[in-house]
Structure 1
Amino acid sequence: MFKFKTPSSETLEIMSEVAKGNIEKDYEKSCIEQIRDLTDKEYAKVTSSGNNSIFIALSAVEGDVIIPDQGGWHGFKQIARFLNKNIITIKTDSGLINTDYLDELEIPDSSALIFTSFAGYCGEQDIKAITKYCKSNDILTIEDASAGVGDKKDLLGRHSDIILASTGSPKIINVGEGGFISTDDEEIFKKTSLPQKLSKTSQIVCSGIDNEIQNVKNNLELTLNATDYVKKHIPNTLHANKRGINVIIPHDNAKAICWDLKKTLTTQKSGFITTCPNYNRVKQKAICIEIKNLDYACLRKEKLDMIIEEVSSQLQV
C-alpha cells in the first residue's frame, strides 16, 4: 500500500500548539514575508483557500477572463461566471498555452489570462513566453502556482502578474486548507478589500504554511524527479519531455485500466489513479498517475518501480 500525502508531523505539531494558545508568534506576518520572498512579489495575502485566492484575483479584473480549454482548474470558469465576467476560452496543445492561439482571439483591454503552472499537472507551461506576450498586449497574467511554487529553476510561480495557490491537501505546500495570493500591483488589493475580508484565515493555518514553506523547494524537486523517472519508463506519456508532477497516458481503454489499477495501487485514503476526460487534466481518454498525491517517502525508486511495473503490465493486456 502507498501512503497519501499529508502535512508533515512537524507542521501538525506546530498547528496544534498554536491552536492550544501555546505560541504567541505572529505567524500571519511571518507567513506573508515568506510568500513575498517565495514568489518575488511586493505584496501578499494569506487566504482561506485556493478558490478564494482565485476569487480575489478575478474580482480585480475589469475586462474579460481568458481560460485554457483544458488542463486548468474548473474553479476558473465557475468563479468567473459567478462574478459575471465574460469568458474567452483559448484552445491549447493538450493544456499547454501557445501564444499563437492568443493572436487568433479578439481580447478587450484590461483582460486577464488565468492558467496553472503545469497543464493538467503534467506539462510545464512556457511561463516566460506567456508573460512576455501578455505584457506586450496589456493582458494581466494570473498563475495558479499551487503545483509550481518553490521551483528551484525560478521559472514557475514568480513571473506572472498575480501568483496564487492553494495550500490544501495534497498540494506542494500541504497544510490541509488555506491559500495565498501575491502581486507587485498594490491596486489589486485595494480594489478587492471585501473578498479579502471574506477569505481571511487563522493563525493556525498561517503557522502551517509558515512551516511547510521551509521545505517547499525540496519537496517540489522530489516530486518533479519522481514524475520524470516514471515518465521515462512508461511509453506514450503526454508531454513526456516536459516537467510535471503527474503522469498522463492517453489510452482508448483508460476507464477499464484505471479500474484495475485502483485495486492494486492503493493508499490508506484517497487514491492516486484518476481517469480522463477531465477538464482539470485533458479532454481525452487517459490514465492519470497522480504522483503529487503520494507521501514523499513513497517517491523512492522501489516504490516508483512498483507503479511502473503495474501500469506497464496493464497497458500490455
Structure 2
Amino acid sequence: MMFEFKTPRDETKKIMSDVASGKLENTDFEKECESKVCELTNSEFAKITSSGNNSIFVALSHVKGDIIIPDQGGWHGFKQIAKFLGKNIIMLKTDLGIIDPNELDNYDISDNSALIFTSFAGYCAEQDIKSISRYCKNNGITTIEDASAGIGDEKGLLGNSKYSDIVIASTGQPKIINVGSGGFIATNDETLFSETSLPLKLSKTNEIICSGIDKELESVKKNLHVTLNATDYLKKHMLNVIHSEKRGVNLIILDDDAKQKTWELKRQLPINKSGFINKCPNYNRVKTKAISIEIKNLNYNCLKKEYLDEIIKAFNNLQ
C-alpha cells in the first residue's frame, strides 16, 4: 500500500493556472481572501502574506517587549525571527509542549510582551486556548497563535481572534489550507497593520497565490475535521501516545528506540514523495525520544480506515 503526500486539490491548481495564464480577468482574489479570513477567524482585519514565516515576522515586528516562546512543540521560526529582530526571548517551560499559563508567574516579563505558540503543541495536542487567553489578557500579554494546523476549527476555539490577539497561518504545503505558498495574519487590533506597513509591503504575495487560498478556504473546515478524526482513530488504537486525550493532527509515540523504529516504519509504510514519519527529539515536536506520525502530511484519500489500519499494523509489528 502506497501512501500519498498531500497536494493542493485539482480545483485549486486549476484556478491558480487560470489566473497565471490570464484566463480570468477583473478579479480581486486578495480582497476576497481577506474578507473570508476575517469571517473564518472572527477578525476585523486581515492581510494575505507570501508565507507563514512572513506572517510571523509581521506579528513579532509589532511587539515592543519580550517574545515568550514554548520550550518545545512550537515552530523553530519563532526563535529565529525574534532573534533576527533583536527581541529579548523567554523560553517558557511546558509539559511536552502544552502551555500552563500560570507558569508565566515564574518569569520576569516586561511590559508589552507577547506569547507566540501553535494551536497544537507539536501538532499533536490542542492548547488550552481559553486559559491561555484569560491569563494573558489579565496580565497585559499579547497572544499570537500560529493556527496553520488549527484553522477551520468547528469548535471555534482555534484560530479565533476572540481568544488570540493575533492569528497567523501558513498556507504552504502540506498545511490545512494547502496552496504551496502564502500565508495570512488576522487581528482585531487596528494598530497592527498601520505600525507594520514596511514588513507588510515586503511580505506581499500575488493574485495567483490568493486565488488558490480563496479556493482552499471552501474546504478548510472539512479538511481539518477529517484530519482530526483520523488522528483520533489512531490514538485510540496505539500505545504510548503522548497527550492521547487531546485533539491533534499528528500523533507522537514515546519510544527509546525511536531512531531504528522510524527507519523500519518508513520501509513498511512507503509514501510517493517526502515523508510522514519522523523521529524525535525535535524542537518542533518534543525534545525526547519518540516517533512522530504526521497525519497532516497525507492526502485525504489516505485518511480512510484501511490506510489507518495499515499504520496501526506496522507499528504493532515493531512491539
In the superposition, the TM-score normalised over structure 2's length comes to: 0.98
Q: In structure 1, which of residues 219, 239, 249 is the aligned counterpart of residue 223 of structure 2?
A: 219
Residue equivalent to 1:148: 150
Q: Distance in 2 between matches of 1:162 and 1:4?
A: 30
1:182 aligns with 2:186: yes
Q: Distance in 1 between matches of 2:104 and 2:66?
A: 13
Q: Distance in 1 between matches of 2:101 and 2:204?
A: 35
1:136 aligns with 2:141: no
Q: In structure 1, which of residues 126, 129, 133 is the aligned counterpart of residue 128 of structure 2?
A: 126
- Contact preservation (8 Å) 2:102, 2:135: no
1:299 aligns with 2:300: no
Tell me the SS of whatever aligns to 1:229.
helix
Tell me the SS of whatever aligns to 1:77.
helix
Residue equivalent to 2:104: 102
Residue equivalent to 1:194: 198
Q: Which runs of 4+ in 1 moved over 2 A?
A: none
Residue equivalent to 2:21: 20
Q: Distance in 1 between matches of 2:251 and 2:54?
A: 28
Amino acid paired to 2:98: L
Tell me the SS of whatever aligns to 2:209.
helix
Tell me the SS of whatever aligns to 2:264.
helix
Q: In structure 2, which of residues 147, 169, 175 is the aligned counterpart of residue 171 of structure 1?
A: 175
Residue equivalent to 1:39: 41
**Deviation by residue 1:8-34 (Cα, 9 ceiling, x = unmatched):** 000000000000111122100111000
Spell out the pairing of 1:238-257 with structure 2 (5 A cutoff): 238-257=242-261
1:263 aligns with 2:267: yes
Q: Distance in 1 between matches of 2:174 and 2:51?
A: 13
Q: Distance in 1 between matches of 2:285 and 2:306?
A: 27
RMSD of aligned alpha carbons? 0.5
Q: Distance in 2 between matches of 1:267 and 1:203?
A: 32
The structural deviation recorded for 1:299 is 0.4
Q: Distance in 2 between matches of 1:199 and 1:264?
A: 41
1:281 aligns with 2:282: no
The structural deviation recorded for 1:79 is 0.1
1:114 aligns with 2:136: no
Q: Distance in 2 between matches of 1:39 and 1:211?
A: 17
Q: Distance in 2 between matches of 1:174 and 1:250?
A: 29
Residue equivalent to 2:53: 51
Q: In structure 1, which of residues 195, 202, 210 is the aligned counterpart of residue 214 of structure 2?
A: 210
The structural deviation recorded for 1:230 is 0.4
Tell me the SS of whatever aligns to 2:91.
strand
Tell me the SS of whatever aligns to 1:298.
helix
Tell me the SS of whatever aligns to 2:218.
helix
In the superposition, the TM-score normalised over structure 1's length comes to: 0.99
The structural deviation recorded for 1:222 is 0.2
Higher mean C-alpha deviation, range 136-145 or range 19-28 = 19-28
**Deviation by residue 1:103-154 (Cα, 9 ceiling, x = unmatched):** 1111111000000000000000000000110000000000000000000000
1:92 aligns with 2:94: yes
Q: Distance in 2 between matches of 1:223 and 1:313?
A: 24
Aligned residues: 315
**Deviation by residue 1:160-198 (Cα, 9 ceiling, x = unmatched):** 000000000000000000000000011111110000011
Tell me the SS of whatever aligns to 1:214.
coil
Identical aligned residues as a percent: 65
1:308 aligns with 2:291: no
Tell me the SS of whatever aligns to 1:222.
helix
Residue equivalent to 1:10: 11
The structural deviation recorded for 1:157 is 0.4
Q: Distance in 1 between matches of 2:74 and 2:44?
A: 26
